[in-house]
Structure formats: C-alpha cells, structure tokens
C-alpha cells in the first residue's frame, strides 16, 4: 500500500513492536481478534480513506460549506465519505458486539481514525464529534436516552455536536450563561447562544444531537452550576420517529483559515422560547460528564495534529526524492547533473525533524490509546488505576505537543517544496492551515498548560508525576542493557532529574505565589512534552535495537534501513531537541516574573 | 495617530534615540532635511497607508488577481493605492532632488516602506519590485536605458519585476536555461520560462519592465555565464513611446496561501521567437548586478516579515486590552467580574514574545538602513568600508530572522484571539498566511544559512565576523556603565564567546569536511540571529536607561512605562530566548552528522 497517508511499516512497528498490542487478544474482551483482524481493519480504513476521504480534501477546502436558503450546503463527497465510514463500522468500532460494534481495542480504532484524519481532517471531524457525543450518552444517559439518541448516532442516522463555547465566555466555562428552565413535562427550556460549534448544522444526517452545557435556573454560579442537556435539531418522539423542528437556529457560519470542510457554526437556542432539552444525568454535574468526552476529543485533536504532520512529512519526503536541484556544497562543476534534493543537508534536516516530530507524536497518541485499553481490560486493579492516572497526566501533553511541533513539521514540509509549497497546487500549505487549529480548539495551549501544571502535575501529592518518572525509569533500565543507547539513557536521565528539580521548585512556589508559579506554565508544558517525547523515542530505539540484534541475519536491507532510521531519528531528537529543556528548566526554576511585572502601558 | 500599523513612539525611539538619525542632517546630502521633514514623511506615509493601503488588505486577499480574457484583473484599490504612493513621491524618495527624488536617507525611506508593508504587504510588493528594478537600471544601465526605463519607472508609468527563477532550477541559479541570442541590431532574442514572477503581468501601468537573467549563446556554464536583460512587455521606441507587444506571454497565475493580492505569474519569453531583450552592462555579469537588487530585496523581505509581525502584535495587544474573560488562577469566586485578558500571565507572555520579536527585528532592519546611509554619505573611508562589510554579513540574518520569529509572533497573535483568531473575521490569520512567504522567496532560509556560514562568516579571513564582534563589544562597553544592565552584558558576552568558539570549530571543519560543516548551517543562522537580536535589544536598553536616568523628573507616566517596557522586553529576550543559543552552539561544535549519515531509505 502507498505510504501517502501513513507509513504502515511504521504503524506496525509502533503497534506490534514498541507496544505489545497483540497481547490484548489474550483478554476475553478481545479474544475474537488477531493480528489478521487488526490488519484487516487498518487495510479497510486505508482503502476508504484513500478512495473516499483524500480525494475531496482540497475541493472541500476550496468550496467550504455555505448557506443557501438558510441551509448548509457542502460538497457531496463529504456525505459519501462518512457513509462509507459508517457502513464499514468505524463509528461503533470500539463498542460491544452486542451493541453492533466490533469490540475493537482503542488502540486499533485510534489507528484507524489516524488514517482517516491523515486523508481528510475536516471530514473526519464530523465522525469524531458524533463518536464523542455518543460516548457521553452511552455512559451517562438514561436507558431511554440511549435508545432515542445513542442508537441512531451509532447507525449514522443522527450526528452529534458538543456545544460548550459561548461568545462572551470563550475558554472560561465558569461564565457560561445559557439557561435551562424546567418545563412541566420534565424537559427544560433552553435559551442561549453558542459559538464555534463544529458540525452545528448540515444536511448530512436526519438529525443533529447537540450536547449543550447550560445552567438550570437558580443553579450555583461558576462551573459547579453547569448541567448537560441533549438538544436535538428535530425533536425525537418516544417511538424514535422525528417530530417537529426544535427551536435551534443557525445564526451564522464561521469562515476559518483552515479545516474549512468542517462547518463551524453559531447557534441560537430558544430564540422563540421553544427550545426543548433533555437533562443528562444529574443537575450541576454537566461539566464532569462533558469532560469525559473532552478528554477523548483532546487526544483526538493531538492525533489529528500528528496526522496532518505525518501527511506533510510523507508528501515532502516523496517530493525530496523526486525533485532534482542543485549540487553538493563542495561541487563547483555546473556540468554535473543536479541531485535529488534529499541529498542536501538542510533538506535532510527538515525531513529528520518532521520524522522525529510526527513519529514521536504518533507514539505518544498510541501510548495513550494503549492506556485506555489497559484501563478497560486489565485484570489488575493497580494497573487499571495507574493507567487512568497516567492518561490523565499525559492528556494535556498529547493534545498540545503535536499541535505545536507537528505544525512546525508542516511548516518544514512547505519549506522543502520551496515556492511550490506556498502554492495551492501542492497539498502542504493546506495541512499547515488545517493544523493551526489544533492549538486552539478543545482547550488552547495555555489552558492545557494550566491543566498540566496547575492540576495534573501535583494531583494526589504528585502521584501522577511520580508514576510517570517510574515508568520512564523502566524504559531507562531496558535501554541500559544496550550499549548503543548509552548516550540517550544518560540524556534522558538528566532531563528527568531536571524535571524533578523543577517540580520541587514549582511545587513550593505554588503554595506561596501561585500566580507567579503558573505564569510560565506554557514553558513547563514544553519542557514536560519534550521529555515525554524523548521517552517515546527511547522506547522506539529499544525496540529497534532489539530487532537489529535478534534478526541480524534475516533482516533484509529495507528492514535494516527502517530500524536504522528509527535510531537516527531518536539520536536527532536527543541531540537537537532534548537539550532545549535545560534552558527551559533553568527559566522555570528562576520563577521569572518578567511578564507579570511588565506595566500594561509598556506593551 | 493610531498605533495600528506601527507604534510611532517606538519608531521615533529607534530612529532618534537608539540610532542618531538626526546626525545625518549634518551631511551635505541630507542638509535640507530636519526632524520636521522626517516626521512629515512618516506622517504622509501613515496617512496614505491608513487611507489607501489598509482598507483593501482583506478584499484583495479574498479576490485575488485572476484572468479574464487573458488579462489580469484585480481589485481596483490596488491601483489607487499605488497611485497615491507614487504621487506622494515615495517611489523615488531616496533619489537626488535633481532626479526628481526627495534625497531622503535610506533609513527614512525604509521606515516609510515599513508603514506601507504593515498596512498591506501584497500591494506594497508592486512598489518594492519597481524600486528594486529601477535601482539596478540606475546603477548598471546605460544612459539610454536610464532614459527609456528608469525615468518612466520612477514616474510610476512603468512597473518593474525581477525574473530569475525557472521551474526546473528553483534556488539553483547555476542551472538557469533561458537563452539570449544576439540579433543584428545589438538586441538579444530571449527564449525561456520563468516562474514565481511577482507582478509579472497586470494592468496597473502602461508597461512592465522585466529584468531577466539569461545565458548568451556560448556562455560558460553555471553562474559565470549569466547575463542580465531588460525585457519590456511593450517594446519602447527610441523616443520613449510604446511600440508593439514584446513576445512575453503570461502562461499562468500562481495561487498562493497568502500575499494573494500580489499577483505571481508564470511567464514564457520568446515562444514565437520574437522576444527582444536589451543587455544590461557587460555579458556574463548579470548575477552580480542582480545581487545588488537582491540584497535590497532581502532586507525588504525581512522588513516585510517584521511589519506583518508588528501589525499582528498591535492587533492582539488591542484585543487583549478589550476582551474580558476569565479570572486570576487564584480567584475561586465566579461572581468576580472577568478580567481583560492582558491580565493573564500566558497572554502577557505571548504579547511580550511578540514585542521582543518585532521590535528586535525592526531594530535590525533599521540598523541595516543606517549602514546603507553610512555607506553612502560617511566622509570616512574606513567607516564606509566597514558599513558595507557589516551590511553584507547581516543581510542573510535580516532576511531570515524576522521571517522565522515574526511569523512565530503572528502565530501568537492568533493564539491570543483564541477561536476568533482562526477565523477570517479577524485580520491576524491573514498576517500569518502572508508572512509564511518570507522564509521562501528571495532565497530560502536554507540558502540564507549557506550564504552566512559558507560565504559571509569567513570572508576575508573572517574580517566581517570580527568587525561584528568589535561592534557588539562597543555596545557592551556602553552597557557596562549601567548597573541595571549587568545581567545582559554578562549574558551577551557569554553568547559572543560561544559564537567565537563555534566559528573556530566550524572554520577548521570547513577546510576538512565542508559538507559536514555546512550541514547544520541553519542552526548556525539561528544562533547567530539570536545573538544579533540580543545585541539590538541591548542597544535599545542602553537608550532606555539613558532616557530614564536623564529625564527622571520630567518623564510623564506614559514615557516611564514606554522605557520600562523596553527594559522588560530586553530582559525577556535575554532570559527566554538568548539561553537557547547555548544548546545550538554545543550542537554546532559537535559537528553532528546525524542528518548526513541517515540512510535515504530510513526516512
């Protein structure tokens, strides 16, 4: 298969050599699965992504959804692609056989989603939101709600959204104003405005299920007074048939820099006073329910960022092998034929950086999926608890690190294409535009930084951070046995010590001067992220060395080069990227307050 | 005046406090000028930029130039803006009074161009190219050529382009194939294809003057066989009147990610065998002539990058002051009113970073303009020679540093706007798209890096690098007298020592393993750039301290805050950015060859 969307050799390496995904088939839940069924799932995803998702990636960008007579029109290929996706069972892939699912491990369904995201991020968004929405109803909804909403969502007849953000509140969910007034029949009258609602209106499905955060009249202020409601576009009758339009009005489409195929909307709930919502779970607990979905979607955003980077890497790699231009710096003879640009040092640097970013980022996303599976099926309670804790700690990093560095990768992919890369005749400029979204939605970079430093790093007395250090320590032990990896173990050990020392300083500062300790949270997120990715690279290097050592006699040249490539990329990350953490840690430990003490008028 | 386009207080500070621009008026060439005439020039530029350039920045992006019946159509405001620009005399601003110019110092004409670029980069491109083109003809053309082309260019009747790049050759000018065959009448028949020619066709002017690089039949291969030709769209008769169309065909428009208002074209010269070109200067010296223009344009590209960053900074600063959202991390009371987001630490970080990048970048561009003036008017021959040498050394940095870091600034401006920043309803996403061009055109980042490390850093036995070190040393001496600046002098001294040590290692490596020494040239460019910008910040800090010390009794609160802001931004750059150079230098001195030894199949 073509490597356009993902290097399947790399994906197999990550799934079956770095992670022991096959071990999952020993668990009762996954006993029906095997390497063959896993491969078949990925093959199907790749075939649909190639045939149905990739071809309209550019045309949906050029012809973004628009209004015609109050309806949202979009290129028809979006609907056709999602149909194929649903038909093949990807929407419900991780649910039980009994619920019509494939009972697939999260790591496999994430791998499949990675392939779709690579092919067409914008079209994939519709499915991602439906899946996230359905999972909330599945988990917190009543039996009636599951029947009325979850089942049609899984069948692809209804699509879902997540309606959190309000124009005045932005990231500050405490300031949400949308109200919910109890009706006599047990439903609620919803009233308020939401913004940036992806998939908020379209003609792709019979109905759209909005999950809306709102305040029940008299609820406490702040985040403790937020409840969650199901608000369908068309009311659903008790027998499941569609009733009249609910009072949800599309008040505008948002025109974005990228990810244009995914319609983003402004919605007005209850302008006529007739918007009916159905409470999910208990009152005032809406935010915690939504965060179940939010955490999934955050990892999904990170994976999307990785895959946009991955696609750009593959595109620029192919270009660099084909494009003939220039000669070695030492060549003074213009009669010599030009070289493929992959021979130039600076082009190689840009390819290597992309490889290190995207394959490192993919490793992290798959590791998180692996933690989800451990949490779901492990027989060991401690293992389950630890997996949940580690996942919690790593979520902000998995969301933000790829959003930053795989975007940088997209920039390098443009650069390798030179002037051509800046034109819309080549795909790389779109990847760059599309990917810029990922540092913003589902909690900005700054929000992730506060989540990591202000909440996760010190939660339960720093238990999660300590757990992470132990896990990294285990990889260091494995690597210690391989002479070739000495350079990396030394460096990662140092970075880890640096992290521990920073955590001590910041932990103390948090008690005395929390505003100051948190002011540089973004730098902490960067340092933390680079250390985690270095760990991900060491894990890959260990697996590569294992393969090179065991199979030296049977590995063909292609396989040798593959593993050598992994070791080189690891080396590159350790020599070019990891050393940056030193300066970041010094800055963090100095509790620098330059930005806080700046007079406003000094800007 | 509004600070939208540039903070005039900052510009004045840079012109009259950091640089002693007023001293130029003591030179005979600039004797007619004064602080008042300088201010009047800037006021006029700002008025025209505000009224004529800024308003169509978005509409020209949305309605990019397109073909209608073979003609290039664009929004009419582009032509109206350039008319106003020409009428006000900016096209010829730096030429002699006798030639119809304003005899303005380069630093003032650059400052004016900065304001136009901030208002509308794409529209400014047409003028920039005409000015660069005209300056080549002015310098290297015959008297007849000046009469026929330079004069109408200066009058704005003709526009100019620079036609270097060919589809197959890209950055590798040695591989240009466009041919020039001598005609009996002394002209040349030009034949070949050029790509990415900005302003290559339009209806803005009576005629378009292409400066075309081509090889005269039988010329030596490589860069030593390239000649420069004037190739007008319409032939110009000896009396200056327009003759028939020359055989220059527009074969396509290029659709870019940004900077869309500036039409970019594919041109075919001599498809019918009837393209007539006029040789400029001597045969085979075309590249050196073109580089006269290229160096100007490179500094212009850097300045453009700065100003797109500057505009984004001003936009996000205004937004951060207005937008109310969230509370301090320590506030648990949702009943408290939300804060303007400029109060949040992470928003302040993003503002500070932008300030440090764009004001540091502007200082460098203006410093280069100051060197041009010194080169032009200094009575001291050594001073002139040193200015030329320093300008040569700094050109690749001035082109590339802002293209990288002020683009990063644009990304931060988006981030401060949150979801809104990613929409086309706010201007910041366009700045980001527009600015991505600057690391590509006029010599990519990688080309600049090779220019700096492979050519400039070691030219004349490293004389330019030594000169730079002496100049930085002078600022360090000045700063040494101010206790408040101790932290910075120590840090810059260290960075400088690091640079010297790296140059020694790389200089030795260049003799033994040039491919290896040059492989990491981009990292050298980064380290060098950060050191130069740190110098620029120290120069600003010295000026700020001088003002704060002298005028403590008379400075009002606004002025105090302005200078404190400069000191804070300097501190930020020294604490957050300069320390990165340490890791870069260590990497450079290790002569890391990870990218070179990677097997191609390992990617």
pLDDT tens-digit readout, A250-273? 999 999 999 999 999 999 999 999
Select which of B17, B64, B77, B442 is catalytic: B442
Chain A positions in Cβ-Cβ contact with residue B512 (cut-off 8 Å) = none
Rounded to whole angstroms, the Cα distance separating B124 from B136 reads 19
Instruction: Give me the residue from A196, A254, A561 closest to B601, CB to CB.
Output: A561
Its sign, for the CA torsion A319, A321, A325, A327, is: positive
Residues whose CB falls within 8 Å of the CB of residue B176, separated by 6 or more in sequence, listed in order: B164, B166, B169, B192, B213, B214, B215, B226
**Catalytic residue set of A:** 442
- Determine, for residues A170 and B514 on separate chains, whether the beta-carbon distance falls below 8 Å: no
Give the residue on B whose Cα is nearest the Cα of A521.
Answer: B346
User: Cβ B424–A195 below 8 Å, yes or no?
Assistant: no
Instruction: Give the phi and the psi of residue B32 in degrees, each rounded to 5.
Output: -75, -10
Interface pTM, i.e. ipTM: 0.97
Residues of chain B numbered 168-197 and touching chain A (CB < 8 Å): 168-172, 174-175, 195-196
What confidence tens digit (pLDDT) does each residue in A272-299 have? 999 999 999 999 999 999 988 888 889 9
Beta bridge partners of A160: A209
pLDDT tens, position by position, A465-520? 999 999 999 999 999 999 999 999 999 999 999 999 999 999 999 999 999 999 99
Contact A519 B348 (CB under 8 A): yes
pLDDT of A554 reads 82
B348·A321 Cβ contact <8 A: no
Q: Sorting pLDDT into bands at 50, 70 and 90, what band is A137?
A: very high
d(CA A221, CA B528): 53
Residue A70's pLDDT band (cuts 50, 70, 90): confident
Nearest chain A alpha carbon to B332: A222
CB contact under 8 A, A423 and B564: no
Question: Taking a C-beta distance cutoff of 8 angstroms, is the pair A290, A211 a contact?
Answer: yes
CB A596, CB A380: distance < 8 Å: no
* A382 close contact with B: CB closer than 8 A: no
Question: pTM value?
Answer: 0.97
Phi, psi for B417 (deg, rounded to 5): -75, -5
Q: Closest to A256 (Cβ–Cβ): which among B168, B422, B575?
A: B422
Is residue A551 over pLDDT 80? no
pLDDT at B551 over 70: no
Chain A within 8 Å of B596 (Cβ-Cβ)? yes
What integer pLDDT is reported at residue A330 of this predicted model? 80
Which residues in chain A are closer than 8 Å to B347, comparing Cβ atoms? 446
Q: Does B253 touch chain A if contact means CB atoms closer than 8 Å?
A: no
Interface contacts A/B by beta carbons within 8 Å: 293
Q: Which residue of B has its CA nearest to A359?
A: B603
Residues above pLDDT 70, as percent of chain B: 100
- Picking from B439, B523, B568, the nearest residue to A602 by CB comes out as B568
Higher pLDDT residue, B554 or B120? B120
Q: Which of residues 546 through 575 in chain B touch A, CB cutoff 8 A?
A: 557-558, 561-562, 564-566, 568-569, 571-572, 575
Buried/exposed B138-167: b ≥16 CB within 10 Å, e otherwise? bebbeeebbebbbbbbbebebbbbbbbbbe
A599 pLDDT more than 80: yes
Residues B154-164: tens digit of each pLDDT: 999 999 999 99
Residue B438 Cα distances to A404, B125, B137, B247, B441, angstroms: 20, 12, 25, 31, 6
Please answer whether residues A330 and A292 qualify as being in contact, where contact means their C-beta atoms are separated by less than 8 angstroms: no
Whole-number mean pLDDT of chain A?
96
- Cβ distance of A602 and B256 shorter than 8 Å: no
For the packed helices B381-417 and B345-377, what is the interaxial angle rounded to 10 degrees?
Answer: 160
- pLDDT tens, A555-587? 899 999 999 999 999 999 999 999 999 999 999
Contact list, A548 vs chain B (CB under 8 Å): none
Instruction: Decide if pLDDT at B77 tops 70.
Output: yes
- For residue B1, the model assigns a pLDDT of 63
- Contact at CB, A325 and B169, closer than 8 angstroms: yes
Does the distance separating the beta carbons of A444 and B415 come in below 8 Å? Answer: yes
CB–CB contact B433 A437 (8 Å): no
Question: Chain B contact for A582, CB < 8 A?
Answer: yes
Mutate one of A329, A515, A580 to test the B interface: name it (highest B CB count within 10 A).
A329
Residue A1 scores a pLDDT above 70:
no
Over residues A331-390, the pLDDT tens digits come to 878 888 999 999 999 999 999 999 999 999 999 999 999 999 999 999 999 999 999 999
A320 vs B330, more confident: A320
In this prediction, residue A209 carries a pLDDT of: 98
Distances (CA, A) of A11 to A176, A536, B295: 41, 14, 46
Tell whether A59 is within 8 A of chain B (Cβ): no
Residue A552: pLDDT band (50, 70, 90) is: low
Contacts of B351 in chain A (CB under 8 A): 595, 603
Whether residues A326 and B171 touch (CB distance < 8 A) is answered with yes
SS3 of chain B: helix, strand, coil, percent, to 5: 65, 10, 25
- A602:B437 CB<8 A: no
pLDDT higher than 90, residue A550: no
Min Cα separation A335/chain B (Å): 7
């Amino acid at each position: 298969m073509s490597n356009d969307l993902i290097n399947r050799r790399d994906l197999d390496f990550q799934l079956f050599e770095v992670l022991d995904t096959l071990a999952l088939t020993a668990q009762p839940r996954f006993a029906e699965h095997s390497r063959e069924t896993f491969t078949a799932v990925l093959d199907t995803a790749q075939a649909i992504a190639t045939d149905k998702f990739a071809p309209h990636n550019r045309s949906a960008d050029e012809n973004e959804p628009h209004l015609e007579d109050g309806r949202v029109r979009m290129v028809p290929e979006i609907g056709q692609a999602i149909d194929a996706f649903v038909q093949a069972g990807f929407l419900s892939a991780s649910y039980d056989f009994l619920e019509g699912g494939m009972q697939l491990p999260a790591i496999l369904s994430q791998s499949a989603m990675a392939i779709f995201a690579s092919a067409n991020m914008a079209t994939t968004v519709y499915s991602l939101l439906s899946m996230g929405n359905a999972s909330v109803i599945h988990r917190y909804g009543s039996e009636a709600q599951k029947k009325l909403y979850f089942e049609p969502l899984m069948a692809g007849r209804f699509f879902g959204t997540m309606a959190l953000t309000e124009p005045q509140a932005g990231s500050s969910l405490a300031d949400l104003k949308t109200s919910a007034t109890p009706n006599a029949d047990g439903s609620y009258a919803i009233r308020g405005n939401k913004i940036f609602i992806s998939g908020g209106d379209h003609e792709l499905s019979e109905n759209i299920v909005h999950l809306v955060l709102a305040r029940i009249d008299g609820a406490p202020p702040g985040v403790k007074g937020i409840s969650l409601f199901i608000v369908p576009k068309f009311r659903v009758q008790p027998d499941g048939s569609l009733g009249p339009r609910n009072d949800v009005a599309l008040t505008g489409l948002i025109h974005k820099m990228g990810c244009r195929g995914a319609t983003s909307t402004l919605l007005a709930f209850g302008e006529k006073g007739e918007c009916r919502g159905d409470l999910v779970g208990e009152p005032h607990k809406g935010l915690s329910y939504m965060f179940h979905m939010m955490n999934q979607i955050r990892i999904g955003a990170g994976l999307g960022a990785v895959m946009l980077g991955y696609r750009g890497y593959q595109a620029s790699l192919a270009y660099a092998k084909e494009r003939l231009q220039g000669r070695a710096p030492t060549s003074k003879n213009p009669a010599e034929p030009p070289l493929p640009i992959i021979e130039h040092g600076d082009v190689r640097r840009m390819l290597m950086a992309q490889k290190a970013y995207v394959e490192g980022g993919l490793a992290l996303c798959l590791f998180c999926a692996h933690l989800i599976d451990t949490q779901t099926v492990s027989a060991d309670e401690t293992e389950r608890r630890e997996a949940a804790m580690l996942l919690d700690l790593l979520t902000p990093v998995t969301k933000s690190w790829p959003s930053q560095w795989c975007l940088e990768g997209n920039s390098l992919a443009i650069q390798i294409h030179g002037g051509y890369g800046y034109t819309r005749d080549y795909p790389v400029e779109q990847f760059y535009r599309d990917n810029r979204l990922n540092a913003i939605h589902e909690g900005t970079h700054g929000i992730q930084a506060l989540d990591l430093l202000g909440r996760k790093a010190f939660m339960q007395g720093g238990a999660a951070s300590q757990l992470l250090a132990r896990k990294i320590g285990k990889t260091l032990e494995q690597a210690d046995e391989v002479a070739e990896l000495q350079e990396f173990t030394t460096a990662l050990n140092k970075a880890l010590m640096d992290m521990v020392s920073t955590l001590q300083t910041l932990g103390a500062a948090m008690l005395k001067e929390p505003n100051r300790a948190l002011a540089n949270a973004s730098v902490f997120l960067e340092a933390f992220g680079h250390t985690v990715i270095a760990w991900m690279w060491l894990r890959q290097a260990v697996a590569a060395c294992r393969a090179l050592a065991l199979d030296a006699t049977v590995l063909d040249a292609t396989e040798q080069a593959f593993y050598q490539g992994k070791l080189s990329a690891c080396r590159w990350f350790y020599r070019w990227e990891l050393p940056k953490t030193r300066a970041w840690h010094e800055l963090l430990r100095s509790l620098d307050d330059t930005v806080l003490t700046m007079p406003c008028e000094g800007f």
